[in-house]
Chain A
Amino acid sequence: MRHVWVIARKEIQTYFNSPVAYVFLSVFLLVAGWLFSSGLFLRGEATIAPFIQVAPLLFLFFIPAVTMRLFSEELGRGTFEILATLPVRDGEIVLGKFVSATVLLLSALAATLVFPVSLSIAGDLDGGQTFASYVGVFLLGLSYLAMGAFASSVTKREILAFIVGFLFMMVFFLAGKFTQFLPEAAARWVDFIGIDSHLDNIARGVLDSRDLVYFLTLTAFFLHLTTYSLGSRRWR
């Protein structure tokens, strides 16, 4: 476990030494601020619903940008060879990197807290719904990060890692949006696989354990896949 933290700390430093963290944070904050205020001024209600609705789309572009370097950079530079020949398990490397990206995601989300806080001062904000929404967006972010990490583990080219990660996220992003064109039996499954149905529940303020399990399973699945992919050099 100590290894995980050592790797995470180094990765966090790398993030905050490079522009990617600041670009991510500021654009995220900007878009979030715009969504909050448009809700407030156009509809005259204090709600963070628009933010939650747009987050999946926003993440679709931001998360691959955050995760693309995680492994591709090391594979490209060859530094992975040193990392992999230290007495550290592949799983620890994956977790450490994942934790660092999670910290970046959390800082972005934390920064947007100024909006609900100011909304709650200006008008009355549904605290429960807001909390649930944040949990939902965070869990969604985790799943996307894990997909991005996996994409980054399969190639030494960061651009390719971005595209592959983007496509994976796209599948889960779109799945729930096409269910009306599908036969009912298939629709139920596709709806379950897509993020929409789960996120909708959460956005209404309902934290159902099934939705939490869905996101956490997705995350764990892709993290395992990442570990597996890194280890694949051993049998390729």
Chain B
Amino acid sequence: MIEATALTKVYGAEPAVDGVTFSIQRGEIVGFLGPNGAGKTTTMRMLTGYLPPTAGAATVAGHDVVSGSLEVRKRVGYLPESTPLYPDMSVLEYLNFIGSLRGLSGQSLRAGVERAIESCDLGRVLGKDIGELSKGFRQRVGIAQAIVHDPDLLILDEPTSGLDPSQVVEVRALVSALGKEKTVILSTHILSEVQAVSSRVIIISSGRIVADGTMEDLRRRHAGPGGLKVTVKADESAVRRKITEVPGVSAVRTRLEDGLVRAEVDAAEDLRERVFRLAVSEGWTMLELSQTAPSLEEIFLKLTGGVS
């Protein structure tokens, strides 16, 4: 569906997107994940034909985004960042307007608009001016305008930003539903969003792709041992001191809970064996000893070089 090869966009002298290569198959739901300024919007603008790449190329459904821009635009539904809409138009007027410019008319226009209204559950607000709608509804209007022509590919730039938690859940459910029959790319800087709706994530940082794969791939490839969780019956300060002395340990946090010492141990390698032997030699009663994987959150921060 999409092939991007060394896609690059330079603003002035600064590259916003720097040699990005990826390929997206029909039917995938892909999340572009990255911190502010990573280049997600710029990448999407190049895919939708709004901006041409400075270098590299991309094709959508076999059409080049520059030379075949018109063909690409026919096949894509696009919701730009921050959902720009006309506040003085009613929802129905607006969807008819976009549908007409999408080349629909008569029966096909009516059918397209009706389907979009139904998918996005806009029936109750059809006659209202868009400017009067809540942010959640506006977001749904934005998505509705992207699907009036029933495109194969949907590109949604931060579809849930600025929504309250219940609206976020609604919009995510809508995107998931649309993803059943369409190829969807959405961008976000919230990791849980990708987990919630997409099957694959492309992590972008400073204009480059730093990871590309399913959540499981990510965990496997970038995880490495994270740390230990230890619960023993013993003296807290002794536990902290002794474990800190174990070679390979970088930090230990302990707390007392119901007379048990619970310790979290940061380490770059698997230290279960050493800690077990320590407990035996010190005569501690061991109740728990487990290796913890780093969370996706931590992987994301590590990959994008961010700090939490």
Q: Which residues of A contact B (CB under 8 A)?
A: 2-3, 6-7, 10, 13-14, 17-18, 77-89, 233-235
Contacts and interface: CB of A to CB of B under 8 A. Distances in A.
B86 A233 contact: no
Size category, B interface:
20 to 34
Interface stretch (B93-101, B160-168, B243-251, B264-272): B93-101
B82 A78 contact: yes
Interface string B36-74: 000000000100111110000000000000000010011
Interface of B: 45, 48-52, 70, 73-74, 76, 78, 80-82, 84-86, 88-89, 93, 97-98, 100-103, 105, 145
A86 B82 CA distance: 18
Given A78-B80, A78-B82, A79-B86, A85 B49 contact: yes
B13 to A, nearest CB: 14
B268 to A, nearest CB: 46
B74 A234 contact: no
A6 B100 CA distance: 7
7 contacts: A78-B80, A82-B84, A86-B73, A86-B102, A87-B70, A87-B73, A88-B101
Nearest to B146: A82
Contact of B48 (A2, A77, A85, A88): A85
Contacts of B97: 6, 10
B73 A18 contact: no
Nearest to A88: B101
CB-based closest 4 A-B pairs: A78-B84, A79-B84, A81-B80, A6-B100
Given A14-B88, A17-B88, A18-B88, A85 B50 contact: yes
B12 to A, nearest CB: 10
A3 B105 CA distance: 11
Nearest to B88: A17
